[in-house]
Chain A
């Protein structure tokens, strides 16, 4: 026992604000994050970013500075480079830091693992020269690394347009933006527009970015319904389908993105219950209004609990901190509720605005469930869509059994890159809802550790 009241896993906006708020309420907080510096994906490396880089990345990036500063000033025990490879129902955390594994435990644990990009399994997506927009952004933030050649961006969702805008600021040439937002989504999203107008800042920002992209002369091809990455040893061209016609663009760099989904690896390892979220086409941990999971003392905040964005993550982080303080009897319930009321209200507005984005950028089935049998689904074990379909013919009921049938999901990423795709392929093949086919059962170690490190951890 190491005497922590609250262990927070992940130092993005949810984890940071939860840690700060909890410490303010008198809790002894340890904040564990696997990156070298705090901020999560959105504020990645912000503490080291030059003013020029900050200007290039835009105001939503710099916004994190205040949160980071507050955390640095607080008594939070922040541990950089600390990856969590195990979490169990007893709230025992397996930690790996500087090559040394150890166990710590806490009265309460908050999982704030953020989001990850939705897999985008098109033919050729594993070729060198094809990467995710998120990866492109990590390079920009981490070392201001920008592509020298002209790039093609493809997909849909706010992050894709943001990256396009940031690339333009950075002087990167964008050969084309292949927008996969279906025409029908505009119609479906229209009735939800009033909800989005509840937070007009988002819309204004979005429209400004799109305008800037058009003004810069980037060719935007809308309503793309098919994509293929071509090349023998590396990417040479991308083919896209628009109104039934296939067209070809030569390029050596293609960035793909079709939204983000909760990173539920940690809540899965802990054994928390999850539900299929049909609005966001992903799994989300089962949570109450405070972020409590179905396991006593384990909570989830931020995009880890369902995609709502960075501002909502801060709000849910603070709510989780209030709930923790109340559970540990540092404040009473009335105090918790009094402080929480405005946060709940603001979170509700964020939720309403998000529904608009969910509907507008709901990815097409053909970009989630590869029709071409040869398309790779599990990159670690090189398992194709066709192989997954064949396991269904052999009686495979869900992702858990595909592991035994064809090793899909058995690689070091523990299915992070293929889990959603495998679940959707099997559901489609069996003609049942995704909820019924389930997901991989995830187990420690969530991050590979050596036999030696594991043995030493128990000493």
Chain B
């Protein structure tokens, strides 16, 4: 056999025209592919959520909400639960799966002889557990035959009117429905029907093999057992699981866990298949807050609230030896279980009139934590810092004396005091809260050092407390504070802003021997197995003053309470040390006072520091009286101290310095005289021409004395820059003095 081969008889080349058309084909292919990628992207973009939802409905459960994690618990220092997540169950029915299994068949003549064992048995059990009738459940299942994910819902009714609540959806107005919540015992009961073969309902034996295609889905709900207790400290949890405000926000990453996944599906032989990844629960937060103390504080604030009308009241209680916050409260708490509710502060009519922005602002005002987020001028409580700084710098000694003649002329500005204190030592100056003495001390210290000590005591920056929204406060610029008037007003706590936490921490360091502890509100974080994940041990971030200075300061504030301006803060049987403050803000014609008191107990070895601030009391008589703050301080501590294990130590008057007691120059309201720089200004808003007669009448002095004051103010060429006060809340030329 012979093979032969005849190759192509014609030679035809792949011509340029063919290449050209092939290129066209190729580009068409590219175009089509690009469009196809676009189509896929379009499906993902536009139908993603819709189709994923549908996939869920048909029984393929892969939702992240399926196995919710349990958010961590927040407990107080004694283990009392402040916030926890409670389990509840939703009943999920799977009608589609119930109808897949049947007995009997459809006869040829069309009669349907099928019976569905899952439907028969499960409906009975579900009806019993939910308390509904079998017919109701059966109808629900029959109406939703194609669904694999049917949550048992109930219509919502308005609590007051009893009318059904309507919501508008794409298909018009429908009655609002909410998933029915079940307790664990419902779930357990259901499981028992699945497991034990001989149970009966209404005399009918349930076939346990066909109790199924229904399950109790676990969910959690954030519960605050104490209602509004420590609301500003705790914060609440939003619907998306994110904490808002307070510990819930700042410890979000510990409190939140990780969702578990459950893919459950039915293969074509209807075997239920399940792949489960367990959820990881959140960590437990142990707060430094003492719930019982917090409760006392909030009760006392409430009592105070009933007596007085004011803008704000806030209390911080702190352990000076560790920086732990024991209690922190303001009058603006809210119901943690219902954080959007403004009804406590506004009447329904007021609420109805409010715009959305106003409502939002009101909510924010209610949610924010006054103690860390608000700043104010500290007033005379600051004098402790000025004195401690000066002692530390050795510009004064404990024995230094200062003279007070009620008025002092600082670079052309007359600043008055609450009384004529005469010659007094440092402790006396504190006890009398004497402005001229402090002005002298600060001028000895000098502006630069004064500013350095402000920073040294942690002012002008965040303390780093583990709460969200902390303010820094506003300090006067380092250059400005060297100006005599600014330095003078700063020396008694005006013209710069601080937060309560800053003040409490600085005061703690003054009384505890000079150790500035990092203030904190969370003691430790433990995971669900009890292993400590994070522990906030007391951290000394700074040494502020020496032990000797601290010891002197403690003596001075004890005298202040025992015999000075802070006598209202006395607590029977305890050695209380503290300092009052009456800071002014606002314009001259409409003065607003921030009353405050900061103190510690017992003064020899302080265990508790408590700082009370009352902002703007709407009472002409008492608006400048720090005794309100002192009273609140005393009320709170009287009850709180035994709770904290600090007991009365008996009579303590023996240590009082006699010289201080003699002086009775305590004048709570305090006179003020303000002259403007060129000497023809106004007196205290009365618009009187500045004559010696007017001053004499106003201040109850002789004409000569008045003339001396005028001479004093005119005698110095003032270089005062009126803009220098811009940093403060005040628009007065000068303001000072104060109190007690």
Is B a genuine binding partner of A? Answer: no
Q: Contact residues of B with A, CB < 8 Å? A: none
Q: Contact residues of A with B, CB < 8 Å? A: none
